[in-house]
């Protein structure tokens, strides 16, 4: 292997030459206690910065095995080290000077959720720590300024690496707490299963966020307190006894006046599919990992989806067993979201009336009297929600502040009262008794058909390589095809969208062949990604440091919104 000294000599040779000479620096160099790899060199000072990575051998990094000897511990430690590295480089970014992006040093900025990312990876057997980051190679105009790059590589980085990635230099108590929290969170998730719960919200949790643009906890918020009747206590391995609200399986209704905290609770449940960092306020809010937010999404495309459990006999005679549209209505989009989530294996639906299509959710008594059932293509969700639980084992948590109709079908009713939940099941059921009984359709829903086979979209590769561009949290573009993901609300981070772009590209280029169903394809792919990480879906000579793992459910959601999905059946 070449050494840091070799790289220094190379830099001296190319100093003051044209920018492309930087390309020669690509390679792997031994730097004292770690290995620096220059994976990709930018073409000019204004282009996206160069891609670098650092690998610290396990023995040097020195993290005790028990800090990363299972997947969730390892992911939590990786997350912590990424944050450390981010903190370290802040003081150095743009300290080396020059034109364009000269001197920038950047790494993933982690969110409140703890996600598996390529920014930092710990090898489970060797304990080697790899961090992937970007550096803007400095230039004056378009002329190489090697002196400034030497500052970065020989002064700044060694200090960042040692202070962020060497166990001996870190606050050991803090690292220990990261591991303990991760174990406690995993334990709660296990307990959900054994205790028959879909979610747990600890007493003392802070659910509201600071603002619409900040995911940090709101200051001075009212801490969560479980209603006594729903309180459960878990004995966590490290924290010990922890009590909170256990939301049981079945149909749970959250009611209450406007502004009393209903949507805030539901949002916390949505993001509870991921673990949160200490201090977030939601670190002990844990939801079934396969819970899906279901909402209306006018305008989305639907490909060969069986929405017949909700929609039938459309006036235009359109097939609803293999329903296709480029421009779904509120109700058809929400129906598709339900059925596709069933396909994706969701065991819990999370629904807020604020973001639902009213005609999908309910049809009131008076309307039923005036417009006969036979004239209405929509079987509303209220008439299916019990069957979804009883036939398919799918629980639902619904926020409904304005319609009492769901009282009749709910198992558990919670009222939010000035941000404090109260259980009012008995009271609400009694009140509902005087009202006409909800009439359920004679036939239960049939098992939706999930037999969509997917063939390659020949149009995508016409112009050679498929280019992926991520539009923040909103969508991902493959060549000129935009996949709109704004309303897939449990995508937490733009890096998950970048991964989804790579996944679609990979499936289009290497997998879709018209023989396998969407379900078979995604299940196989996810197994592979679980074993091999995000590298399984990336081509190219190096692994980019800007990918985060999406859930399997969001891979389904992404492909289902891909307008060029080549469905056949």
Q: Can you spell out the DSSP letters for 184-244?
A: HHHHHHHHHHHHTEEEEEETT---SEEETTEEEEPTTPPPP---GGGEEEEEETTTEEEEE
Pair of tokens at residue 56: 């610290």
Reference 29, options 163, 158, 164, 165; nearest CA is: 158
271 binds ligand ADP (CB under 6 A): no
Residue nearest to Mg ion (CB): 263
Specify the residue, 261 or 550, whose C-beta has the smaller distance to Mg ion. Answer: 261
CA 139 to CA 147: how far, in whole Å? Answer: 10
Which residue from 49, 138, 208, 250 is in contact with ligand ADP, where contact means CB under 6 A? Answer: 208
217 binds ligand ADP (CB under 6 A): no
Task: Please choose which of Mg ion, ligand ADP, none residue 208 contacts, taking the beta carbon within 5 to 8 angstroms, the exact cut-off set by kind.
Answer: ligand ADP
| Torsion-angle region of 242 (φ positive above 0: left; ψ -120 to 50: alpha; else: beta) | beta
Shortest gap between Cβ of 170 and Mg ion (angstroms)?
Answer: 42
- Binding residues for Mg ion, per CB under 5 A? 263, 354
Shortest gap between Cβ of 262 and Mg ion (angstroms)?
Answer: 5
Specify the residue, 24 or 354, whose C-beta has the smaller distance to ligand ADP. Answer: 354
Region of 183-191, 251-259, 358-366, 505-513 interacting with ligand ADP (CB under 6 A): 251-259
222 binds ligand ADP (CB under 6 A): yes
Specify the residue, 64 or 223, whose C-beta has the smaller distance to ligand ADP. Answer: 223
Pair of tokens at residue 372: 């006969």
Which residue from 97, 259, 431, 463 is in contact with ligand ADP, where contact means CB under 6 A? Answer: 259
Specify the residue, 125 or 211, whose C-beta has the smaller distance to ligand ADP. Answer: 211
Task: Please choose which of Mg ion, ligand ADP, none residue 246 contacts, taking the beta carbon within 5 to 8 angstroms, the exact cut-off set by kind.
Answer: none
Shortest gap between Cβ of 273 and Mg ion (angstroms)?
Answer: 20
Specify the residue, 266 or 547, whose C-beta has the smaller distance to Mg ion. Answer: 266
At 180 the three-state DSSP class reads: helix
Which residue from 50, 112, 263, 334 is in contact with ligand ADP, where contact means CB under 6 A? Answer: 263
Using alpha carbons only, how large is the chain's radius of gyration in Å? 26
260 binds ligand ADP (CB under 6 A): yes
Distances 478 to 117, 469, 497, 559 between C-alpha atoms, Å: 21, 7, 12, 12
Which residue from 262, 282, 300, 551 is in contact with ligand ADP, where contact means CB under 6 A? Answer: 262
| Helices 71-90/172-195 angle, 10° precision | 140
Specify the residue, 263 or 560, whose C-beta has the smaller distance to Mg ion. Answer: 263
Number of residues that bind ligand ADP (CB under 6 A): 15
Specify the residue, 332 or 415, whose C-beta has the smaller distance to Mg ion. Answer: 415
Reference 547, options 117, 131, 211, 213; nearest CA is: 117
Distances 376 to 70, 175, 312, 337, 366 between C-alpha atoms, Å: 52, 59, 8, 20, 14
Shortest gap between Cβ of 428 and ligand ADP (angstroms)?
Answer: 16
| Cα 80 to chain centroid, rounded | 18
Reference 12, options 153, 106, 136, 133; nearest CA is: 153
What is the contact surface with ligand ADP in residues (CB under 6 A)? 207-208, 218, 221-222, 256, 258-264, 416, 419
């Amino acid at each position: 292997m070449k050494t840091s000294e070799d790289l220094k000599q190379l830099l001296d040779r190319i100093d003051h030459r044209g920018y492309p000479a930087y390309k020669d620096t690509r390679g792997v160099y031994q730097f004292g206690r770690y290995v620096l790899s220059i994976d990709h060199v930018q073409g000019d000072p204004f282009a996206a910065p160069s891609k670098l990575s650092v690998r610290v051998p396990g023995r040097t990094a020195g993290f005790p095995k028990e800090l990363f000897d299972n997947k969730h511990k390892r992911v939590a430690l990786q997350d912590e080290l990424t944050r450390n590295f981010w903190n370290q480089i802040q003081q150095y970014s743009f300290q080396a000077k020059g034109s364009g992006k000269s001197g920038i040093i950047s790494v993933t900025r982690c969110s409140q959720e703890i996600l598996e990312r390529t920014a930092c990876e710990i090898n489970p057997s060797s304990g080697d720590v790899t961090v992937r980051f970007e550096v803007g190679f400095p230039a004056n105009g378009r002329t190489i300024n090697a002196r400034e790059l030497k500052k970065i590589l020989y002064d700044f980085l060694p200090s960042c690496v040692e202070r962020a990635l060497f166990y001996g230099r870190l606050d050991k108590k803090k690292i220990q707490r990261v591991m303990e929290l991760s174990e406690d969170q995993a334990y709660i998730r296990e307990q959900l299963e054994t205790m028959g719960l879909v979610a747990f919200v600890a007493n003392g949790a802070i659910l509201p966020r600071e603002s619409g643009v900040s995911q940090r906890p709101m200051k001075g918020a009212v801490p969560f307190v479980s209603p006594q009747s729903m309180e459960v206590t878990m004995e966590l391995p490290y924290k010990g006894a922890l009590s909170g609200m256990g939301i049981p399986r079945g149909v749970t209704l959250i009611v209450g006046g406007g502004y009393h905290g209903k949507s805030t609770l539901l949002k916390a449940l949505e993001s509870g599919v991921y673990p949160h960092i200490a201090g977030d306020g939601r670190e002990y809010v844990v939801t079934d990992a396969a819970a899906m937010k279901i909402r209306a999404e006018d305008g989305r495309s639907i490909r060969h989806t069986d929405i017949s459990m909700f929609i039938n006999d459309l006036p235009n005679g359109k097939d609803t067993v293999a329903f296709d549209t480029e421009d779904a209505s509120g109700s058809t989009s929400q129906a598709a979201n339900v059925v596709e989530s069933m396909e994706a294996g969701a065991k819990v639906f999370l629904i807020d009336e604020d973001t639902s299509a009213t005609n999908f959710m309910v049809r009131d008594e008076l309307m039923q009297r005036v417009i006969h059932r036979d004239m209405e293509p929509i079987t509303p969700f209220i008439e299916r929600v019990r069957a979804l639980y009883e036939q398919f084992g799918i629980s639902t948590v619904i926020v409904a502040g304005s319609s009492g109709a769901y009282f009749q079908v709910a198992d558990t009713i919670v009222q939010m009262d000035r941000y404090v939940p109260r259980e009012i099941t008995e009271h609400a059921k009694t009140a509902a008794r005087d009202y006409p009984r909800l009439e359920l359709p004679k036939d239960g829903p049939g098992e939706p058909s999930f037999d969509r086979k997917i063939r390659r979209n020949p149009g995508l590769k016409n112009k050679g390589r498929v280019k992926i561009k991520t539009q923040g949290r909103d969508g991902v573009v493959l060549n000129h095809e935009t996949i709109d993901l704004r309303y897939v609300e449990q995508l937490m981070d733009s890096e998950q969208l970048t991964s989804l772009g790579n996944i679609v590209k990979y499936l289009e280029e290497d997998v879709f062949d018209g023989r396998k169903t969407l379900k078979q394809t995604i299940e196989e792919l996810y197994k592979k990604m679980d074993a091999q990480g995000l590298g399984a879906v990336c081509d190219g000579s190096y692994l980019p440091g800007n990918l985060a793992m999406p859930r399997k459910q969001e891979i389904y959601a992404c492909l289902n919104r891909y307008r060029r999905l080549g469905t056949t059946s």
